[in-house]
Structure 1
């Protein structure tokens, strides 16, 4: 049984920014994807909600998590709990998400398809239970970093490690990469990514595999994960990278140790993007 806890905030567009900041704060309490966080308003003129979906935690674990959330956000209204039937509540809540712009890209759900202008920079993403709708700052940072890189040099081979919804792999294809491959440790994410790749009609086939860590060597490697696994995989990711490595999923407080881990492997930071306390780093292997 899935258990939902939700907090009701105010009515008005100003609460969109407030809920996004709250979600970013609560994200530090998420461990291995549990619980699943989202913020939305069920009706256009209704109040904004913060939803917390517990799949694995028992009652004691839920109570402990909610208490820690209250410590982080003392002004957050009280949570209400509601046991719900097995449904894809992440997909349900994402139907309320609005299109997101990141550089030239606009990322949107299928519910907005009819009102989107036809352009090569549009990417349609239905996330389900996978990560990567571009509403998170780390995904936006990666999209911007990838576009900046493509402006400096043509993209050749690209590997998207921990692909989630496949949005970054699709973006690399949009930017003219010669070949793109993607992988994720989560079979559910891989299925979601495959569907999104097919729906977006990529210029070239984009294979998506179930694999932990770097699954192939490429001229450009993207890893939008978390600081701790990025440090743990520093040697593997450095070996898989031919020239450029884009890292994200880390807060600004974790930038220094991540930089140090990759500097020790011969990679230097050439670009850094900060969005809402989340950092995206572009690193390059110096030419010999």
Structure 2
């Protein structure tokens, strides 16, 4: 039997942050992907829904899990619980997501492919348990920054995407003719999702995907859409990885000054900021262009998934 526990969190930016925080905590309680946790809006600007899908457990075990969840995440509204027939509930949640427009890109799920006119700027992304459908302002900000960089003299050059999630930024870079392109994520599930999306989009330029904690290769342009604390901790490695340009996102406006300070101390200067709601994407550049070449590979990698 499949059980679905769901609740409505509310609307607005603060609720979106609450949803992300709740998922971050609750996923620590999962065991080999059970239960499946998702948060989404059924309609644009609608209320955020939190879904907990138990695909292989008993009703008593689900009740115990939810009781623990409410202890771990204070102020969660009461859940409603329904027994459900066996279905692909991750796919069902995906189908609730609407297309997102970021610059010339349209990021959409496979359920919307037939509804959109053909375009090289359409990117089909089915997230599964990975982050990066462009519904969040941080991913949308990265796509806008990516397009602006691609349209400037010299373009993107080689690209490395740290914390790739669904692989959307690597795929977007390929659309603009960047290369070579590499991407990694600390979560092997996200890497498998990114690999699936890369294959589905039939990229012309190969994209190297690896499970890696941080950058594993140097590139002309490096993207890292993560969170403020790990970005500050990885400042030495990310600054070294970016030969020419570094784009950081996943940052609240309140994080901006301390993140910028960490990278300015590494010799980078702020070239541009993209502000969307309470989120900021920062583009850094290295004064004087590319630095002297070093070995492109960086330590700390494991598990080559696709080349």
Give the shorter-chain TM-score range: 0.7 to 0.9
Is 1:50 the counterpart of 2:35 in the alignment? no
State the partner residue of 2:70.
63
* CA–CA distance in structure 2, aligned partners of residues 82 and 147 of structure 1: 44
What are the superposed Cα offsets for residues 122-149 of structure 1, whole Å, 9 maximum, x if unpaired?
A: 0000111111111111100000000011
State the partner residue of 2:279.
278
What are the superposed Cα offsets for residues 246-279 of structure 1, whole Å, 9 maximum, x if unpaired?
A: 0011111111111111111111111111112111
- Quickly say closer, same or farther: Cα 1:177–1:165, change in 2 above 3 A: same
State the partner residue of 2:6.
6
- Quickly say closer, same or farther: Cα 1:87–1:192, change in 2 above 3 A: farther
State the partner residue of 2:229.
228
Q: Which sits farther off after the overlay, 182-191 or 105-114?
A: 182-191
Deviation of 1:54 (Å): 8.0
SS of the equivalent of 2:151 reads helix
State the partner residue of 2:109.
109
* CA–CA distance in structure 2, aligned partners of residues 38 and 54 of structure 1: 11
* CA–CA distance in structure 1, aligned partners of residues 26 and 220 of structure 2: 29
* CA–CA distance in structure 2, aligned partners of residues 30 and 96 of structure 1: 18
Deviation of 1:24 (Å): 3.1
* CA–CA distance in structure 2, aligned partners of residues 78 and 33 of structure 1: 15
Do the aligned residues in 2 keep the contact of 1:20 with 1:39 (CA within 8 Å)? no
State the partner residue of 2:261.
260
Is 1:96 the counterpart of 2:89 in the alignment? no
Is 1:26 the counterpart of 2:14 in the alignment? no
Do the aligned residues in 1 keep the contact of 2:26 with 2:69 (CA within 8 Å)? no
* CA–CA distance in structure 2, aligned partners of residues 61 and 248 of structure 1: 32
Deviation of 1:119 (Å): 0.9
Do the aligned residues in 1 keep the contact of 2:25 with 2:72 (CA within 8 Å)? no
Do the aligned residues in 2 keep the contact of 1:142 with 1:248 (CA within 8 Å)? yes
SS of the equivalent of 2:24 reads coil
- Quickly say closer, same or farther: Cα 1:33–1:242, change in 2 above 3 A: farther
TM-score, with length taken from structure 2: 0.78
Residue ranges of structure 2 left out of the alignment (5+ in a row) = 29-36, 55-61, 290-307
What are the superposed Cα offsets for residues 216-235 of structure 1, whole Å, 9 maximum, x if unpaired?
A: 00010000011111011000
Deviation of 1:68 (Å): 3.8
Is 1:141 the counterpart of 2:141 in the alignment? yes
Task: Compute the RMSD of aligned alpha carbons.
Answer: 2.9
- Quickly say closer, same or farther: Cα 1:86–1:267, change in 2 above 3 A: farther
- Quickly say closer, same or farther: Cα 1:49–1:152, change in 2 above 3 A: closer
Is 1:215 the counterpart of 2:220 in the alignment? no
- Quickly say closer, same or farther: Cα 1:281–1:48, change in 2 above 3 A: closer
Do the aligned residues in 2 keep the contact of 1:238 with 1:265 (CA within 8 Å)? yes
State the partner residue of 2:205.
204
Do the aligned residues in 2 keep the contact of 1:91 with 1:127 (CA within 8 Å)? no
Do the aligned residues in 2 keep the contact of 1:54 with 1:62 (CA within 8 Å)? no
Residue ranges of structure 1 left out of the alignment (5+ in a row) = 10-14, 70-76
What are the superposed Cα offsets for residues 10-59 of structure 1, whole Å, 9 maximum, x if unpaired?
A: xxxxx9xx366622343244437737441233xx8xx9561143889945
Do the aligned residues in 1 keep the contact of 2:219 with 2:242 (CA within 8 Å)? yes
* CA–CA distance in structure 1, aligned partners of residues 264 and 80 of structure 2: 46
Do the aligned residues in 1 keep the contact of 2:39 with 2:49 (CA within 8 Å)? yes
